[in-house]
Amino acid sequence: MQRELKSLSDLVTGTHALIHHFSGGKEFKNRLLVLGFTIGAEVVVRQNLGSGPIIVAVKDSLVALGRGEAKKVVAEVLNKD
């Protein structure tokens, strides 16, 4: 099945997705990788209000990402909750 690639900032609350790639710089990438945003890791968007930062669940933890940061993380969309 062909899956859709979307930025985390474009995923509505409750969406499950797999991390596909990053479009930010090296340090940005490193910080996210360490927090568990590895390629293929499953994430759940816990709160996305359409503006401002979003909250993502990854490896049982919650991480807040600024809107600009969430834009740079591209994920493969799975089903919704």
Partner 1 sequence: MTELKQNSSAHPRNSITVALAGQPNVGKSTVFNMLTGLNQHVGNWPGKTVEFKTGELVLNETLIHLVDLPGTYSLTANSEEERIARDFIIREKPDVVIAIVNAALLERNLYLVAELLALDVPIVLGLNMIDVANQQGLRVEVNVLEAALRVPVVPIIASKNQGLMELIEAAQNLAESQVPLAPNRPDIRPEHRPVLEEIRTLITGQVPQPYHEDWVALKLLEGDSEVMEMVERAAPKAWPRIQTLLSQHEDAILDITGGRYEWIARMVRAAVVRPRPGLIVLTDRLDRIATHPFWGLVLLLGILGMVFWLTYHAAMPIVEWLDSAIFIPLANVVSIALANAPLWFSSLVVDGLIGGVGTVLTFLPILIVFFSALGILEDTGYLARAAYVMDRFMHWMGLHGRSFLPLFLGFGCNIPAVMGTRIIEDRRARLLTILLVPLVPCTARLAVVSFLTPAFFGTGAALVTWLLVIGNLTLLVLVGIAINRLLFKGAHTAFIMEIPLYHVPNARTIGLYVWQNILAFLKKAGVLIVLISTIVWAFSWLPDGNVNNSVLAGLGRWLEPLGRLMGLNDWRLIVALLTSFVAKENTIATLGVLYGMGEQSIGLAARVGATLTPAAGLSFLVVQMLFVPCVATIAVIKQETASWKWTAFSVVLLLAISLIVSVGVYQLAALLNWGM
Q: Residues interacting with partner 1, by CB under 8 A?
A: 24, 26-36, 38-41, 47, 49, 51-53, 55, 58-66, 68-69
Kindly report the length of the chain: 81
Decide whether 5 or 64 has the Cβ nearer to partner 1: 64
State the nearest-atom distance from the C-beta of 71 to partner 1, in Å: 11
Residue located via tokens 């401002």: 52
Looking at beta carbons only, is 5 or 39 nearer to partner 1?
39
Q: Which residues pair with 15 in a beta bridge?
A: 80
Q: 55: Cβ–Cβ under 8 A, 6 or more apart, which residues?
A: 45, 46, 47, 48, 62, 63, 64, 65
**C-beta of 69: minimal distance to partner 1 in Å?**
5
Is the Cβ of residue 6 or residue 47 nearer to partner 1 in the bound state?
47
